[in-house]
Amino acid sequence: MTPTKDTVGTAVREILETDLKFAGMDLPDDLAMVGDGLMLDSLDVLMLITAIEKRFGHKIPKGKLGAKSMPNIGGFIEFVYLELQSASSGS
Amino acid sequence: MSDADPELLQLLPHRPPFLFVTRILSMSSGAARAVWELTGREEFFRGHFPAHPIVPGVLIGEALAQTAGLAIPDDDSPHRARGRSGSLARIDLKFSAPARPPVTLELEARVAGSRGDLHQFDVVASVEGRPIARGQLAIAVTA
């Protein structure tokens, strides 16, 4: 079953708070992730993606990852949600 | 100290007394199993601790990082990793039991994800099949 966008959002925020140590920070949808806002570096991004892949049992193709896939937290949640939907429909 | 496995010396940049992996059990692109055999005569046991030696957790972490170094995927790295230097970029381990010498530590590393020259691993150290430490670490392969 494809997770809902809320489920994905909860997972992304949990990973940011626990694995990436952003607990106690406001994590609104419009907060930038790379270059500004959270200022994630390449190791943070690897940890985030790996944790998401483990959580949902789906490997995100490398070619799909990039600046466009994580413009901000809301955009990244949307990207992961659509990726999981696409995977479950087999397209 | 001077009897390091020649294969290991080719695959890892570490050298005694800081080469902890003593034997490879299996190795592929993305996964490796190895062992660290400890006799109890290692120098650090004089201080860790007198009269009741315990393998230092930080050295178990280093041994797991060396095992991960054997498992760095070839296809994900612009630089062929084996035999090259890698830097430990992150480590997060939970220890569930002490390891007392003489002991053979079984070390396992499996890649969980990669981005360019950065590789994240799930790692486990076990004694007689029972996990004593597990967690994640990341290695950055340097040119």
| B6-10 mean pLDDT | 85
Amino acid at B137: L
The structure tokens 């670490």 sit at B137
Q: Could you tell me the two tokens for A6?
A: 């809320």
Contact B80, B121 (CB under 8 A): no
What are the pLDDT digits (tens) for B109-132?
Answer: 999 999 888 999 999 999 999 999
Q: Which chain B residue shows the shortest CA-CA distance from A49?
A: B113
- What global pTM score does this model have? 0.85
Torsion (CA) B11, B15, B18, B21 in degrees, nearest 10: 40
Contact B58, B96 (CB under 8 A): no
Q: Report whether pLDDT(B102) > 90.
A: yes
Residue B114 touches chain A, beta carbons under 8 Å: yes
Specify the higher pLDDT residue, B109 or B7. B109
Helix axes A5-18, A73-88, angle to 10 degrees: 130
Q: Report whether pLDDT(B29) > 90.
A: no
What are the pLDDT digits (tens) for A34-67?
Answer: 989 999 999 999 999 999 999 999 999 988 888 8
The CA distance from B49 to B51, in Å, is 6
Which residues on neighbouring strands pair with residue B56, listed in sequence order? none
Centre a 10 Å sphere on the Cβ of residue B12 and count the other Cβ atoms it contains: 22
The structure tokens 């909860």 sit at A10
The CA distance from B103 to B24, in Å, is 16
Q: What are phi and psi of B42, to 5 degrees?
A: -60, 145
Mean per-residue pLDDT over chain B, rounded: 90
Helix (H) or strand (E) holding B115: strand B103-115
Pick the closest to residue A11 from A61, A39, A53, A69 (CA basis).
A53
Test A43 with B113 for CB contact under 8 angstroms. Answer: no
Q: Which chain A residue shows the shortest CA-CA distance from B136?
A: A47
Test A54 with B90 for CB contact under 8 angstroms. Answer: no
Q: Which chain A residue shows the shortest CA-CA distance from B135?
A: A19
Q: Report whether pLDDT(B76) > 90.
A: no
Which residues on neighbouring strands pair with residue B29, listed in sequence order? none
Partners of B136 on chain A (C-beta within 8 Å) are 47
User: Which of A20, A34, A47 should we substitute to test contact with B (largest number of B Cβ atoms within 10 Å)?
Assistant: A47
